[in-house]
Amino acid sequence: MAPHGEVIANSYTRTKEFTRPPRLSTDNLHRTISDISYELMRQDVVDEALKINLPPIHEVEDAKCECCGMSEECTPEYIRKVREKFSGKWICGLCSEAVKEEMAKNGGKGDEALSTHMSHCVRFNKLGRAYPVLCQAEAMREIFRKSSRVRSQSMSPKEKGGKKGGGIARSSSCMPALTREMNTLALGN
Protein backbone atom coordinates (compact mmCIF):
# COMPACT_ATOMS: atom_id res chain seq x y z
CA MET A 1 0.00 0.00 0.00
CA ALA A 2 1.02 3.52 -0.68
CA PRO A 3 1.12 6.09 2.10
CA HIS A 4 -2.44 7.38 1.47
CA GLY A 5 -4.11 3.96 1.12
CA GLU A 6 -3.62 3.76 -2.61
CA VAL A 7 -2.86 0.37 -4.05
CA ILE A 8 0.08 0.12 -6.38
CA ALA A 9 -0.90 -2.29 -9.12
CA ASN A 10 2.62 -3.13 -10.18
CA SER A 11 3.56 -4.54 -6.77
CA TYR A 12 1.19 -7.50 -7.14
CA THR A 13 2.08 -8.65 -10.62
CA ARG A 14 3.95 -11.91 -10.90
CA THR A 15 6.48 -12.76 -13.49
CA LYS A 16 6.37 -16.22 -14.94
CA GLU A 17 10.12 -16.53 -15.19
CA PHE A 18 11.86 -17.59 -11.99
CA THR A 19 15.54 -16.99 -11.84
CA ARG A 20 17.52 -19.75 -10.29
CA PRO A 21 20.43 -18.94 -8.03
CA PRO A 22 23.79 -19.43 -9.69
CA ARG A 23 25.21 -22.91 -9.23
CA LEU A 24 28.19 -22.91 -6.95
CA SER A 25 31.28 -24.51 -8.23
CA THR A 26 32.96 -27.25 -6.19
CA ASP A 27 36.28 -26.47 -7.83
CA ASN A 28 37.25 -24.10 -5.01
CA LEU A 29 36.46 -26.76 -2.41
CA HIS A 30 38.53 -29.39 -4.20
CA ARG A 31 41.39 -26.94 -4.58
CA THR A 32 41.27 -26.13 -0.84
CA ILE A 33 41.32 -29.79 0.13
CA SER A 34 44.22 -30.51 -2.15
CA ASP A 35 46.18 -27.51 -0.81
CA ILE A 36 45.67 -28.66 2.77
CA SER A 37 46.67 -32.23 1.98
CA TYR A 38 49.75 -30.93 0.17
CA GLU A 39 50.76 -28.87 3.20
CA LEU A 40 50.32 -31.83 5.50
CA MET A 41 52.33 -34.18 3.32
CA ARG A 42 55.31 -31.90 2.79
CA GLN A 43 58.54 -33.56 3.80
CA ASP A 44 59.55 -30.99 6.41
CA VAL A 45 56.25 -31.47 8.26
CA VAL A 46 56.84 -35.21 8.30
CA ASP A 47 60.43 -34.69 9.50
CA GLU A 48 59.24 -32.45 12.37
CA ALA A 49 56.74 -35.07 13.45
CA LEU A 50 59.45 -37.72 13.52
CA LYS A 51 61.74 -35.53 15.66
CA ILE A 52 59.20 -35.37 18.49
CA ASN A 53 59.81 -38.25 20.87
CA LEU A 54 56.39 -39.57 21.76
CA PRO A 55 56.08 -42.51 24.12
CA PRO A 56 55.15 -45.72 22.37
CA ILE A 57 51.48 -46.59 22.40
CA HIS A 58 50.83 -49.85 24.15
CA GLU A 59 48.15 -52.21 23.10
CA VAL A 60 44.93 -51.74 25.01
CA GLU A 61 43.22 -54.56 26.82
CA ASP A 62 39.67 -55.07 27.97
CA ALA A 63 39.54 -54.99 31.76
CA LYS A 64 36.37 -56.12 33.51
CA CYS A 65 35.44 -54.50 36.82
CA GLU A 66 35.35 -57.04 39.61
CA CYS A 67 32.55 -55.13 41.35
CA CYS A 68 29.96 -54.15 38.77
CA GLY A 69 31.11 -56.15 35.75
CA MET A 70 31.56 -53.20 33.41
CA SER A 71 34.50 -53.50 31.02
CA GLU A 72 36.82 -50.75 29.83
CA GLU A 73 39.70 -50.56 27.40
CA CYS A 74 42.87 -49.75 29.33
CA THR A 75 46.61 -50.03 28.93
CA PRO A 76 48.37 -52.76 30.92
CA GLU A 77 50.20 -50.09 32.90
CA TYR A 78 46.94 -48.48 34.03
CA ILE A 79 45.49 -51.87 34.95
CA ARG A 80 48.57 -52.60 37.04
CA LYS A 81 48.31 -49.24 38.88
CA VAL A 82 44.63 -49.80 39.70
CA ARG A 83 45.31 -53.32 40.95
CA GLU A 84 48.12 -52.03 43.20
CA LYS A 85 45.78 -49.43 44.64
CA PHE A 86 42.85 -51.78 45.32
CA SER A 87 44.40 -54.95 46.78
CA GLY A 88 44.93 -56.76 43.49
CA LYS A 89 41.39 -56.21 42.22
CA TRP A 90 40.65 -54.21 39.09
CA ILE A 91 37.69 -51.88 39.52
CA CYS A 92 36.29 -49.27 37.15
CA GLY A 93 36.41 -45.53 37.72
CA LEU A 94 32.84 -45.32 39.00
CA CYS A 95 33.39 -48.06 41.58
CA SER A 96 36.72 -46.45 42.47
CA GLU A 97 34.92 -43.22 43.38
CA ALA A 98 32.35 -45.15 45.42
CA VAL A 99 35.16 -46.91 47.32
CA LYS A 100 36.83 -43.54 48.00
CA GLU A 101 33.57 -42.21 49.47
CA GLU A 102 33.20 -45.36 51.56
CA MET A 103 36.76 -44.88 52.82
CA ALA A 104 35.87 -41.34 53.89
CA LYS A 105 32.91 -42.71 55.84
CA ASN A 106 34.78 -45.46 57.68
CA GLY A 107 37.94 -43.52 58.50
CA GLY A 108 40.27 -44.51 55.66
CA LYS A 109 40.13 -48.32 55.84
CA GLY A 110 40.61 -49.26 52.19
CA ASP A 111 40.09 -53.01 52.37
CA GLU A 112 36.92 -52.64 54.42
CA ALA A 113 35.57 -49.99 52.02
CA LEU A 114 36.32 -52.19 49.02
CA SER A 115 34.62 -55.25 50.52
CA THR A 116 31.58 -53.15 51.52
CA HIS A 117 31.25 -51.76 48.01
CA MET A 118 31.72 -55.18 46.44
CA SER A 119 28.97 -56.64 48.63
CA HIS A 120 26.64 -53.81 47.58
CA CYS A 121 27.43 -54.50 43.92
CA VAL A 122 26.88 -58.24 44.31
CA ARG A 123 23.53 -57.64 46.01
CA PHE A 124 22.51 -55.17 43.30
CA ASN A 125 23.55 -57.51 40.49
CA LYS A 126 21.55 -60.38 41.98
CA LEU A 127 18.40 -58.44 42.89
CA GLY A 128 18.49 -55.13 41.03
CA ARG A 129 19.07 -56.34 37.51
CA ALA A 130 16.59 -59.21 37.72
CA TYR A 131 13.87 -57.40 39.72
CA PRO A 132 14.27 -53.61 39.42
CA VAL A 133 10.98 -52.87 41.24
CA LEU A 134 12.07 -54.93 44.25
CA CYS A 135 15.40 -53.10 44.24
CA GLN A 136 13.61 -49.77 44.33
CA ALA A 137 11.37 -50.96 47.17
CA GLU A 138 14.44 -52.13 49.10
CA ALA A 139 16.09 -48.72 48.62
CA MET A 140 12.95 -46.94 49.87
CA ARG A 141 12.86 -49.24 52.89
CA GLU A 142 16.49 -48.40 53.71
CA ILE A 143 15.80 -44.67 53.38
CA PHE A 144 12.81 -44.97 55.70
CA ARG A 145 14.83 -47.00 58.19
CA LYS A 146 17.64 -44.42 58.26
CA SER A 147 15.29 -41.45 58.55
CA SER A 148 13.28 -43.06 61.37
CA ARG A 149 16.53 -43.84 63.20
CA VAL A 150 17.60 -40.19 62.88
CA ARG A 151 14.17 -39.00 64.05
CA SER A 152 14.16 -41.27 67.07
CA GLN A 153 17.66 -40.10 68.06
CA SER A 154 16.74 -36.43 67.74
CA MET A 155 13.60 -36.86 69.86
CA SER A 156 15.32 -38.66 72.72
CA PRO A 157 16.11 -36.44 75.73
CA LYS A 158 19.77 -35.47 75.91
CA GLU A 159 19.78 -34.03 79.40
CA LYS A 160 18.07 -35.08 82.62
CA GLY A 161 16.00 -31.91 82.59
CA GLY A 162 13.87 -33.35 79.78
CA LYS A 163 14.98 -30.91 77.09
CA LYS A 164 14.72 -32.32 73.63
CA GLY A 165 17.75 -31.84 71.44
CA GLY A 166 17.89 -31.40 67.71
CA GLY A 167 15.21 -30.11 65.42
CA ILE A 168 13.99 -26.56 65.07
CA ALA A 169 12.79 -24.86 68.25
CA ARG A 170 9.52 -22.94 68.09
CA SER A 171 9.84 -19.22 68.62
CA SER A 172 7.29 -17.16 70.52
CA SER A 173 4.33 -15.65 68.77
CA CYS A 174 4.61 -12.23 67.17
CA MET A 175 1.04 -11.26 67.99
CA PRO A 176 1.81 -9.56 71.37
CA ALA A 177 4.46 -7.38 69.72
CA LEU A 178 2.08 -6.37 66.93
CA THR A 179 -0.70 -5.59 69.40
CA ARG A 180 1.61 -3.46 71.51
CA GLU A 181 2.79 -1.56 68.41
CA MET A 182 -0.80 -0.97 67.28
CA ASN A 183 -1.75 0.31 70.75
CA THR A 184 1.16 2.80 70.77
CA LEU A 185 0.11 4.08 67.36
CA ALA A 186 -3.51 4.42 68.47
CA LEU A 187 -2.50 6.31 71.66
CA GLY A 188 -0.19 8.62 69.72
CA ASN A 189 -2.99 9.81 67.42
Kindly state the average pLDDT of the residues 92-112: 89
pLDDT of residue 97: 92
pLDDT of residue 84: 92
Report the alpha-carbon distance of residue 145 to residue 162 in Å, rounded.
Answer: 26
Kindly state the average pLDDT of the residues 157-175: 56
pLDDT, tens only, 23-56:
666 666 666 666 777 676 666 666 666 667 666 6
pLDDT of residue 139: 84
Question: What does R_g of the chain's alpha carbons equal in angstroms?
Answer: 38
Name 104's Cβ contacts closer than 8 Å, sequence gap at least 6: none
How far is CA 174 from each of CA 154, 167, 177, rounded to the nearest angstrom? 27, 21, 5
In this predicted structure, the answer to whether residue 11 has a pLDDT above a threshold of 90 is: no
In this predicted structure, the answer to whether residue 86 has a pLDDT above a threshold of 70 is: yes
In this predicted structure, the answer to whether residue 2 has a pLDDT above a threshold of 60 is: no
pLDDT of residue 81: 93
Report the alpha-carbon distance of residue 112 to residue 106 in Å, rounded.
Answer: 8
In this predicted structure, the answer to whether residue 109 has a pLDDT above a threshold of 90 is: no
Mean pLDDT of the chain: 75
In percent, the amount of the chain with pLDDT more than 70 equals 56
Report the alpha-carbon distance of residue 68 to residue 117 in Å, rounded.
Answer: 10
Kindly state the average pLDDT of the residues 105-115: 87
pLDDT of residue 146: 86
In this prediction the pTM is 0.44
In this predicted structure, the answer to whether residue 120 has a pLDDT above a threshold of 60 is: yes
